[in-house]
Amino acid sequence: MDRVVAKSGLHAVSSSFHQFEPHGVSAIYLLSESHLSVHTWPEYGYVALDIFTCGDDGPALKAFDLLVEEFQPKSVEKRVIRRDVLGEAGSQNTP
Q: Within 10 A of 71 (CB to CB), how many other CB atoms are there?
A: 12
Residue type, 83: R
Question: Is 31:17 a contact under the CB 8 Å cutoff?
Answer: no
Whether residue 16 lies in the annotated active site: no
Mean pLDDT on 56-79: 93
Strand, helix or coil for residue 32 = coil
Does the pLDDT of residue 45 top 80, yes or no? yes
Predicted model pTM: 0.81
Q: What confidence score (pLDDT) does residue 10 get?
A: 96
Whether residue 34 lies in the annotated active site: yes
Q: What confidence score (pLDDT) does residue 20 get?
A: 97
What's the CA gap between 88 and 91, in Å, rounded?
7
| Domains identified in the chain and CATH numbers | 2-71 (3.60.90.10)
Q: What confidence score (pLDDT) does residue 95 get?
A: 47
Question: Is 45:28 a contact under the CB 8 Å cutoff?
Answer: no
Among the options 15, 26, 34, 37, which is catalytic? Answer: 34
Whether residue 23 lies in the annotated active site: no
